[in-house]
Amino acid sequence: MTNILLVAKREIRQILAMKSFWLTLLILPVALALGPILAESLGDEDATPVAMIDRSGSGAGEALQQRFAEDDDRNTLRELSRYVQRYDLESADPQAVWTQHDRWYTATDIAAFRTSGGVDGAIAKIDAVRPDGTPEFEADPPLYEFVPAPPALASQSAQGFGAAAQDLFDSDADDAPEIVVLIGEDYPAVPAIGLYSANQPRASFVAAMQETLTGDLRTRLLAERGILAADAAAIQSAVPAISVNTPPPGDGAREALLVRSIVPLALAYILMMSLMLSGSWMLQGSVEERSNKLLESLLACIKPEELMYGKLLGGLSVGLLMIAVWAGCAAVAAYATQGVIADMIRPALEPVSSPGAILTILYFFVAGYIGISMIFVAIGAMVDSMSEAQGYLMPVLLAILLPITFLLQAILAGREGWIVQVLTWVPLWTPFAVLARLGMGIETWVLVGTGALLAATIALELIFLGRLFRASLLATGQKPTLGRMLERLRARPQ
């Protein structure tokens, strides 16, 4: 055992002395820290500037602007409602529309929201009851901002309007609108509306515009047919009262599944990452021992099995060290951002925090590490150079990584089809599949069955790949052909 520990310690020291180790160790936390910042900076959160030119004098342009303002307020109300529901802040104003989570907000609700001070009024009331650590509510910016049309465009005749609008879009002027809506002077008699856009407009924009102007046209037609304007407007504004019964944030089946699967998926991903990294370092160490011809000196002092187990233990220790560092970084990030992250982490940790789940994770993690590291160590024992090792490494990496990519996608999509089942039961992918599926829930008998199968496979691996390792150690300069590999797999100690 002492020799195994000595070999493991040397392996660890060798890997820790590599610059590539420290780079990769730090890259993941840095990437995770930079990710949200980059995503925020890359995200287009500015409202799209829209110029409305209404030459009809019919009030249609005004109606359109009101419609978009109403949509923005409805969206704000929905976000506010979800925020209040998530943090149990209904006591801020039990009568307010934003503490009612059971309906699709109507124009009346929006009017009431505006009357009571809009989003600023709501935030003021919420702040009065918001406990420390609960993040502040941040309203999404409006999708569209209505800007005055440049005079040159506003005075442009209908004939040259399209070209003038295009020149404006091409000018890259800071105050140039991205969308121009032209309501002609003959509207509503000639119900032709011009929509000019620098980019493909959102379907929701066109749909809202069509719905508003269609309502306007129909109201006018009803009035023309003798229906009183007020009645016509009432007919147009008649909407069903849609009651909404959705689970609270994080509780929807799909959403809950995603939240519960975050940590298990991260575990599977981290296992894969650390295995690939420490595996390649282990391989590098083995190749160095062969190419530097120091195996015979080692084997005069220790058994081949001790060398192999020492390498596996060293690799496993480095992998666990990396994971501990990454977990530590995550803990620091969670502590530093307390409320926001902690609130998200609590439900995410729920499927992996029971003693049984922790044991399951530890077992499949360690078993996965040993099972796959063993392949790297065996490759290292067979080849004389890193370039030769690459030839064997690539197919192995592809065989491991490609199915795992499909697996992670399937879990994210909430599917547990036959591919996921197969991957769960094939020992090469079992650790990844089981870890990734922990959030979805996995039957106990499957855990026991796959765990036993994995243990049996590792035992066979230790026997057969151990033979390959032992028989290959001193066979320098021999090309490991398939026949020779099979011979070594069968070889007993000589």
Partner 1 sequence: MAVLEVDRLVKRFGDVLAVDDLSFTVREGEIFGFLGGNGAGKTTTLRMVLDIIRPTSGTITVLGGSPDRRQAAAIGFLPEERGLYSGMSAIETIVYFGRLKNMDAGLARSRGMDLLTRFDLADRAKSDIGDMSKGMAQKVQLATALVNDPELLMLDEPFSGLDPVNQGLLENEILRASERGAAVIFSTHVMQHAERLCDRLLLLRKGRKRFEGTLDEARAQLPISLTAVAKSDLSSLRGVARADAGEPAGDGWREWKVALEPGVSPASVLEHCTANGIGLRRWDERRATLHDIFVELVGGEGVQR
CA 331 to chain CA centroid, nearest Å:
19
- Residue 420 C-beta: closest distance to partner 1, Å: 43
CB of 471 to partner 1, least distance (A): 10
In angstroms, what is the minimal distance from the CB of 280 to partner 1? 16
Pick from 95, 245, 387, 494 the residue near partner 1 by CB under 8 A: 494
- Beta strands in 44-142, from DSSP E residues, in sequence order: 48-54
Which residues between 414 and 443 bind partner 1 (CB under 8 A)? none
Piece of 59-67, 187-195, 203-211, 298-306 that binds partner 1 (CB under 8 A): 298-306
> Smallest distance, Å, CB 2 to partner 1?
8
How remote is the C-alpha of 457 from its chain's centroid? Answer: 33
Helix (H) or strand (E) holding 183: strand 179-183
From 10-18, 98-106, 273-281, 332-340, span contacting partner 1 (CB under 8 A): 10-18
H/E stretch holding 147 reads: strand 144-147
Is residue 485 involved in binding partner 1 (CB under 8 A)?
no
Q: Does 17 bind partner 1 (CB under 8 A)?
A: yes
284-303 as b/e: b if 16+ CB within 10 A: bbbbebbeeeebeebeeebe
- Can residue 14 be called a binding residue for partner 1 (CB under 8 A)? yes
**Residues 438-477 close enough to bind partner 1 by CB under 8 A:** 474, 476
Nearer to partner 1, 385 or 476 (CB): 476
Residue span 335-374 as binding mask against partner 1, x where in contact by CB under 8 A, dash where not: ----------------------------------------
Residue 481 near partner 1 by CB under 8 A = no
Q: How far is the CB of 292 from partner 1 (least distance, A)?
A: 3
Residue 493 interacts with partner 1 (CB under 8 A)?
yes
Structure tokens at 50: 């829209």
Q: Report in angstroms how near the CB of residue 325 gets to partner 1 at its nearest.
A: 22
Expressed in angstroms, the distance from the first to the final Cα of the chain is: 23
Residue among 146, 98, 147, 100 at smallest CA distance from 120: 98
Pairing of strands 179-183, 48-54: parallel
How is residue 286 written in tokens?
């083995």
Shortest spacing between CB 489 and partner 1, in angstroms: 16
- Our separate counts of H helices and E strands in the chain read 18, 4
Exactly one of 6, 32, 47, 440 binds partner 1 (CB under 8 A); which one? 6
Q: What CA–CA distance (Å, rounded) separates 366 from 355?
A: 16
State yes or no: residue 486 binds partner 1 (CB under 8 A): no
Closest CB to partner 1 among 217 and 298? 298
Q: Which stretch binds partner 1 (CB under 8 A): 2-10, 30-38, 68-76, 194-202?
A: 2-10
> What does the CA dihedral 408, 412, 413, 419 come to, rounded to 10 degrees?
20
Label residue 353 exposed, middle or buried (CB < 10 Å: 0-12, 13-18, 19+).
exposed
- Nearest distance in Å: CB 300, partner 1: 4
184 vs 310, beta carbon nearer partner 1 = 310
| Binding footprint of partner 1, residue count (CB under 8 A) | 25
Residue 21 Cβ vs partner 1, minimum distance, rounded to whole Å: 12
What's the CA angle centered on 165, arms 160 and 170, to 5 degrees? Answer: 125
Cα separation, 311 vs 294, in Å, equals 15
Q: Per CB under 8 A, does 207 bind partner 1? A: no
Report if residue 226 touches partner 1, rule: CB under 8 A.
no
Choosing from 39, 42, 253, 300, the residue that interacts with partner 1 (CB under 8 A) is 300
Does residue 301 bind partner 1 (CB under 8 A)? yes
CB atoms within 10 A of CB 428: 19
294 part of the interface to partner 1, by CB under 8 A: yes
- In the complex, what is the shortest distance from the CB of residue 382 to partner 1, in angstroms, rounded to a whole number? 18
Q: In the beta sheet, which residues pair with residue 131? A: none
Chain centroid to Cα 50, Å, comes to 32
* Tokens matching residue 432: 């990844």
Binding-site string for partner 1 from residue 274 to residue 293, where x marks contact by CB under 8 A and - marks none: --------------xx-xxx
> Does residue 303 touch partner 1 according to CB under 8 A?
yes
Judged on CB neighbours under 10 Å (0-12, 13-18, 19+), 466 is buried
Q: Are strands 179-183 and 193-197 parallel, antiparallel or unpaired?
A: antiparallel
Q: Does 2 bind partner 1 (CB under 8 A)?
A: yes
Q: Which two tokens stand for residue 411?
A: 């879990």
65/86 Cα distance (integer angstroms):
32
**Which residues of the shown chain bind partner 1 in the complex (CB under 8 A)?**
2-3, 6, 10, 14, 17, 288-289, 291-294, 296-303, 306, 474, 476, 493-494
